[in-house]
Amino acid sequence: MMRSKFDEQLSRLNEMLVEMGAMCEKAIVLTTDALCGQDVAIARKAIEAELEIDQMERDIESFCLKLLLQQQPVAKDLRLISAALKMVTDMERIGDQAADISELTIFLANQIYIKKLEHIPQMADATVKMVTESIEAFVNKDLALARAVMAYDDVVDALFSTVKNDLIVMIRDNNANAEQAVDLLMIAKYFERIGDHTVNISEWVEFAITGEHPKSQ
């Protein structure tokens, strides 16, 4: 009887993580739409989404702590709850970074972009895919998918290098581009960091499944 109640609670934890993952995806999509469309209203929505993500982090943390106190889980169950506590910290950081991008978007809203935003939206798409799949890997205890997410970060890193190199050339060719180029580079860097946080989430998924954290091997 105790076990079935605990399984129900673990199932609820999965649902909450899926919900928080969806909030992160929404924040990334909003912030990208705002950036590409130079839309201040959408950028503000992305900043508001961060507050919802923060609240969700607190809700999941208190739910996990309640499970630890009431159920006193051991072995695999303990790993699962510990991993969830670590994952929500990275998910909260993803919300922060989406909000940071939106703040820069608001600052740039009245400027004509010095370059076509081609690779930055591709970075955004890649990070949304990574967020979705890292949470899916946790819920389905899918080690292969978690490792695929870690490997996919190379796509985000390669896109970041492309953006950085393009902007360096633009600054070199015309100093007048320098200020906006730095802002666009910061935006690309925030997307690259979102990719890194998703890798962290996937590493905790691996820990939950195997008992080994890839960085400790």
Residues 6+ away with beta carbon under 8 Å from 217:
none
With left for phi above 0 and alpha for psi between -120 and 50, is residue 75 left, alpha or beta? left
Q: Show Cβ contacts of residue 28 under 8 Å, excluding neighbours closer than 6 positions.
A: 94, 98, 124, 127, 128, 131, 194
DSSP letter for each residue of 45-83: HHHHHHHHHHHHHHHHHHHHHHHHHHH---HHHHHHHHH
Per-residue confidence (pLDDT) for residue 3, from 0 to 100: 75
Q: In order of start, what are the domains of the chain with their CATH numbers? A: 2-216 (1.20.58.220)
Percent of the chain with pLDDT over 90: 89
Cα 144 from chain centre = 19
pTM equals 0.95
Which residues of the chain are modeled with pLDDT < 50? none
Per-residue pLDDT reduced to its tens digit, 149-171: 999 999 999 999 999 999 999 99
Distances 136 to 7, 140, 154 between C-alpha atoms, Å: 18, 6, 20
**26/196 Cα distance (integer angstroms):** 18
> Average pLDDT over the chain, rounded to whole?
95
Distances from the Cα of 157 to the Cα of 18, 30, 183, 193, angstroms: 25, 22, 18, 9
Integer Cα distance of 196 and 200 in angstroms: 6
Q: d(Cα 145, Cα 136) in Å, to the nearest integer?
A: 8
